[in-house]
Amino acid sequence: MHTIGPILFEHSKRAKNISISVRTQQRVRVAVPTGISFRSAEKTVRGKYDWIRKKQLAVSQQEQRFVNLPPIPVATAKLVLTNRILLLTKKYGFTVNRITIRNQRTRWGSCSIKSNISLNIKLYYLPADLRDYVILHELVHTVHHNHSPAFWDTLKTILPTAKSLDRRLKKHGLPVD
């Protein structure tokens, strides 16, 4: 029987429920709401042991997928991704403050409240339709800073296949935020 490795328990003022996240094969973090004991959180983790192992395996497989790829041509990848986000921004009338392309471990992209968009350089290896999905997802966050029905309605107006693309993207391991 395999162990799940070290577990980091942290109290979080933002957490409303006990939340387990697996970032790498060897890193499990448990966010515990203030007022809930670590002992209670440990019981929750014991009940989720199989889920954690499954998630660790998926994370490991996702990491291996990128290990076997040729090195990313950083300048080319940044140019391709930046040009694509600028083209889609103009085409759909979004406003972006700053664009950053970097090697992220936990997500494909993110958008700040100030409309700063950060994209994972690994997007370069994804098929063009999934790349565009991530970019458009982040661009819609410049208008709707959450995943509300209004967010999804706006995204589906621009990209009717958004939900199926989201499902396909999940097979590549990282969330889009």
Q: Which of the residue ranges 35-49, 64-78, 97-111 would you say has the lowest mean pLDDT?
A: 64-78
Q: Are 102 and 34 members of one domain?
A: no
Segment 15-67, tens digit of pLDDT = 899 999 887 666 888 999 998 999 999 999 889 988 888 888 877 776 666 66
**Within a domain: 176:** no
Token reading at 82: 């930046």
Whether 111 and 97 have beta carbons less than 8 Å apart is answered as no
Select from 16, 49, 67 the last residue of a domain.
Answer: 67
Is pLDDT above 80 for 171? no
What is the model's pLDDT at position 1?
A: 40
Q: Structure pTM?
A: 0.70
The domain containing residue 48 runs over which residues? 7-67
**Within a domain: 134:** yes
Q: What is the average pLDDT value for the chain, to the nearest integer?
A: 88
* Res. 177 pLDDT band, cuts 50 70 90: low
Is pLDDT above 90 for 104? no
Q: Are 166 and 92 members of one domain?
A: yes
Whether 12 and 20 have beta carbons less than 8 Å apart is answered as no
Q: Are 36 and 79 members of one domain?
A: no
Q: Are 153 and 130 members of one domain?
A: yes
What is the model's pLDDT at position 25?
A: 62
Whether 155 and 111 have beta carbons less than 8 Å apart is answered as no
